[in-house]
Amino acid sequence: MSEEAPTPTTGQAEFLAALIDAGHVFETGVPGVYGHGAAYERVRVKLESLISEAAAEDGAAKLKFPPVVPRVNLEDNGYVAKFPQLAASLFGFDGSEADAIKQGRIAAAHGDWSSFQGQTDLMMLPAACYPVYPAVAAAGPLAAGGAFIDMEGTWVFRHEPSYDPARRQAFRQHELVRIGAPEDVVAWRMAWAQRGLDMFGDLGLASSLESANDPFFGRQGLLLAANQSAEQLKFELVVPIASPEPTACASFNYHLDQFAGIYGLSFADGSPVHTACVGFGQDRIVLALMKAHGLEPERWPSNVRTLVWD
């Protein structure tokens, strides 16, 4: 399914063109899907290490998952119902040898060959934290103190074509997940919100922490978004990049007992379990740095270079 991307603002178009000219971003022909140059990736990896080092000091354990997720997971956690506009299923060939020949001919002419494809049991991963909850639950009751997981840079996908260089369909999230007693989870989220503010300040980024809500779909989604805002379940660190309004570069989300109930997360003594996650948008932060300090990282302020370049 193809979809027209929104027309970029002048600032978005100019920034994207400058990134391409500098060799930091490479177009693929699909809006919101880009390749990246060596300098861009060098900054991103340094940023990843900066966050992981801070998480390791608090005892975070590292987990890695692929950028696909079993379809049943997104059915169970309600993503398909709440965000149908962003979800993307994986399809594969489902036919005979004759069908394969027909499909090849149609594909060679760039026609519609979707009728030869069937839905698989996989979907693209839309949020890096989603595989963590069933994996931790499968290991049995939580130890005292709960769990703290560092997902580092994970590719995620959301069907949201855009010519804004900071709004991608495929991008990297650095996700931190906290599972534990409600009071511990709440304190952890706010501590990391402050860490995020401090880190962005050290990087020379003008940021602010704001209450936010997710882009739930439809009329029911309006109610979900209002409830999320009213209960302050989501905060975002926003930074000026290329849009008229500041762009969210990190989010701090409190799920209450939502995922604990879905996946059976528990303490051995039966006390309640809540979850929270912190998502740093690696690509957006790199772009924010390039917007703030210029397209030549070797010429950035020395204190910034020390953190994400040298």
Pairwise CA distance, residues 83 & 216, whole Å: 6
Residue 122 CA to residue 70 CA, distance in Å, equals 5
Report whether pLDDT(119) > 90.
yes
Distance, in Å, from the CA atom of 184 to the CA atom of 186, rounded to the nearest integer, reads: 6
For domain 10-88+126-308, give the CATH superfamily. Bira Bifunctional Protein; Domain 2 (3.30.930.10)
Look at residue 2 and tell me whether its pLDDT is greater than 80: no
Please give the pLDDT value at position 221: 87
Inter-CA distances, 96 with 99, 101, 194, Å: 5, 9, 57
Question: In Å, how far are 79, 124, 137, 169, 259 from 235, measured between CA atoms?
Answer: 19, 25, 26, 22, 19
pLDDT at 49: 97
Task: Give residue limits of the domains in the chain.
Answer: 10-88+126-308, 89-124
Residues 34-74: pLDDT tens digits? 999 999 999 999 999 999 999 999 999 999 999 999 999 99
Q: What's the rounded Cα separation, in Å, for the pair 30 and 99? A: 27
Statement: residue 243 has pLDDT above 80: yes
CA distance 290 to 127: 25
Lowest mean pLDDT among 120-124, 146-150, 213-217: 213-217
Measured CA to CA, the distance from residue 149 to residue 132 in angstroms comes to 8
The predicted pLDDT at position 117 comes to: 97
Entry pTM: 0.95
**How far is residue 129 CA from its own chain's centroid?**
9
pLDDT band with cut points at 50, 70 and 90 for residue 228: confident
